Structures are given as structure tokens and as C-alpha cells.
Amino acid sequence: MVTAEPRIFIIDDSADYRALLSHHVTTRWPDAVVRGYDPVFSGRLPDSFSGAGNDLILLGHPAGGEDALDWLRQFRQVPGFPPVVLIGNGEERQIVAAMKAGAAEYLSKARLNHARLIELLEQVLGGDEELADLAQAGLPSLKGHAIREQLSGSDVSSVYLTTEESTGRAAVLKVLRQMPDSGNEVAFERFLQEYELIAKLKHPSIVEIYDLGIADDHAYIAMEYCSQGSLKRRIAAGMNPDLAFYYMRQIADALGELHRIGITHRDLKPTNVMFRDDGTLVLIDFGLAKQAQLRAEITGTGEIFGTPYYMSPEQGHADQVDQRGDIYSLGVIFFEMLTGEKPFDAETPMAMIIRHRHAPVPRLPPELARYQPAIDRMLAKNPDERFQSVEELLEWIPDNDSGASAARA
């Protein structure tokens, strides 16, 4: 939970932009302590600047007419320096460089709005406290893995960055927080069987599984570490249509491999699409939510489990879900990559489910109209009116080499 009085230090060449960011922050947290720094007038901060007394740094590019990445690298060399959010030009090369240099998050100035900024700040500011709470739950005894830090956690699982003691390589360890209760063993067994199948796959866009098993009544999965963050960050930073199209095809190709061996992802969303150090895209978390009993069902309190922004209409209504549900979720992600906005929004999960079922498929702006036919098919309410397979989708939509060039840039 974020404190009501976050302390935020804003660095940007423009006084107006510093004031705008401060306004966004204090609108959300009226008692926030916000300080601004003018790098044009005051010059570069010294190497001795530790960021002490601040919960977060907002660093605008350029900074004092210089590349803000140089400032970021200087800050991250200081032990205990607070997290830094870089606000830049939105170019893919800068996004990747910022993540490599240690930015906690990245935002594009051109795509920044109040909701996006506050959502991101809440995630960054709330991270340390959430991890501290999760750490109190204790860790299972996992031989062969030296835990370096906790990356995230939820009611279902905790995720750790580890070092494999036998190889010295970095690995991500996802630990299910509890074994299934009595009566749920069948679903849990299927979860393990599916990951055993996935571990045998060798596909460039599917995460490599190193190991899985049970330890101290915890199930765990060890997989490759993808250091460059998730697709959610890149959507927030903004991307050109060619790159969005290229990523969509990569995700579709990975889904096709899963579908080929009889596995439906079931939980496709931007945070389950990660990037390796070389910038290649990787699909993770295949059906973990469902097998850990986060099924899309309405509870007595009107809440749902799962991620309703990306759920197909049939999944939101607890109907049978097959590979066409994954295609629908991919359509939602594709629309979001193209526009920076989700196709459907609502104030409550239940309202979101209803919109997925009944709201018309939104229209893309005129400059993106060439993608509308694909969006219409992918987001069709009736599964029979969608692409019936990933192969049909990829055959219907030709490849686009310019997106691959943008990804390599």
C-alpha cells in the first residue's frame, strides 16, 4: 500500500512539465512531498547525490540538455538509491536502454496521461511494502537455488530471482504458495503435466523451463530470467504500428505451438509477455491462474478472479474456453499495442465482463484502419466468428518485415 505522503523528486528541463507532473501527483496524493529540480539552471547533480529522503525519482529526458540515460546510470551506481522512472521520447531503443540501465519503469512523454502515470507510480511506490509483507510468509526449502531477491507475489504464487547453484545462471523461480486443498488434486496434477509438456518445447518465443517439482509442500517452476521487463511497459511507453503488428505475430506464433500440443494459455495479458536481454519476446505463465483456481467465475460479492481486461466473453461467463479464447485475448492486446488504450473499460470487474459480451468492437483511428478487419475477427463475441486457429490468423494476415527491423533497432 502506498503511503499518503510519498516523497517524489522531479527532474526535467521544463518548468511547466515539472509543474504538470507535480499536479498529477498531488491530485492523487494531496499530502505528497514533491520537489522539482531544474537541470538547465542548476546543472548536473553530483555523484554524491544519494536520493536520500525521496521515495521515487521522476527523471525526464533530456536532462540539462544531456541524455537522461547517463543520469540514470549514475544514480543506479549509488547503493540504496530510490527507484527511478524515466520519462522519455518513447523510442524502442531508449526503452530497452532504460530498462538495462536500471529504470524501475518507463513512460513516454507523448503518451503520458493522469491514469497511466498514477497506475505506474502506485506500482513502483507500493512494491517494497508488498514484497516485505510477502516475505513474512516464509520461503520453502528449495535445494539447488540461491534466492537473490523477490520479484513479485500474489495470493497464488511468489516469484523470486535466483541463481542456480549447479550452473551459476540466473533463473526465475515461481513458487505456488499452497498445495491444492482436498478435491483439487486433479486440476493441480493437470497443471504439473502441462508444464512438463511445455518444458519439452524449444520455441524462441516460449520461456524455457529449467525444472519443476514439489518441495516442502510447495510446487515450483524454475525458468529462464527475462531481464527486460514486460510488454506492459512497452505499451505504456508507446510503439509504432509496425512493431505492434510484429509483436502480435510473435505472440500468435508462440500460442500456435502451445495449441499444437493441446494447451490453452487461458491468462494471456501484457504482463505475461516478457523480453530477454537481447530484446526477443517470450510468452510465460501458461494457464497458471486457472490451475491455481483463479477461474473466471463470479463470487457472492460480485468480484471475479483473473484479469477481466483481457478475458474472452465466454471465459468471463465461465463457459467452455478453447484456443479461440486465446485469440480473443491476443486481439485485446493487439488493440492496446496499436492505440495505447484497452478496447473496453469499466469501473467494476462485473461491468467489464458485460462489456466484453455486449459492447461493440471499437473502431481504430483512420490511420490504423488497415488493422480493423483483423481486430473485428479477433474480438468477435461469438467464438465461431473469430479465427478458428492461430494458423488461420497467420495465413490471413501477411508478415511485415518493417516490424522486425524496428524490434532489432
The verdict on 265 and 218 lying in the same domain is: no
Q: Are residues 340 and 360 in the same domain?
A: yes
Name the region of 270 (left: φ>0; alpha: ψ -120 to 50; beta: rest): alpha
Contact between 121 and 107 under an 8 Å Cβ cutoff? The reply is no
Q: Are residues 383 and 239 in the same domain?
A: yes
Counting the structural domains of the chain, the total is 3
Last residue of a domain, one of 193, 224, 255: 224
Q: Could you tell me the residue range of the domain that residue 120 belongs to? A: 7-128
State what percent of residues in the chain have pLDDT above 90: 45
- Residues 191, 74 share a domain: no
Give the model confidence (pLDDT) of 211-237 as tens digits.
Answer: 887 766 677 888 999 988 899 989 988
**Is 2 a member of any domain?**
no
Are residues 371 and 401 both part of a single domain? yes
Residue 219 and residue 235 in one domain:
no
- pLDDT confidence band for 144 (50 / 70 / 90): confident
CA dihedral 210, 213, 215, 221 (to 10 degrees): 50
* Rounded Cα distance, 297 and 319, in Å: 9
**358 and 383 inside one domain:** yes
Cell numbers 534466492: residue: 147
**Out of 176-185, 291-300, 335-344, 346-355, least confident range:** 291-300
Q: 197, 224, 251 — which closes off a domain? A: 224
Residue 266: which region, alpha, beta or left (left: phi > 0; alpha: psi -120 to 50)?
Answer: left
Q: Domain check: are 169 and 238 in the same one?
A: no
Is residue 358 scored above 60 in pLDDT? yes
Q: Would the pLDDT of 376 be above 90?
A: yes
In a domain, 140, yes or no: no
Local confidence band at 143 (pLDDT 50, 70, 90 cut-offs): low
The pLDDT of residue 328 is: 97
The domain boundary, picked from 195, 224, 253, lies at 224
Tell me if 218 is assigned to some domain: yes
Q: What is the pLDDT of residue 299?
A: 37
Query: What's CA 357's distance to the chain center, in Å?
Result: 25
Q: Of the ranges 16-30, 40-54, 80-94, 120-134, which one carries the lowest mean pLDDT score?
A: 120-134
Q: Pick the catalytic residue: 47, 128, 277, 345?
A: 277
In-domain check, residue 213: yes
Predicted pLDDT at 343? 94
My answer on whether 173 and 306 are in the same domain is no
> Is 277 one of the catalytic residues?
yes
The phi, psi pair for 247, rounded to 5°, reads: -65, -40
More confident site: 352 or 291: 352
119 and 167 in a common domain: no
Residue 169 has pLDDT above 70, yes or no: yes
Amino acid, single-letter form, for residue 177: R
The CATH number of whichever domain residue 172 belongs to comes to: 3.30.200.20
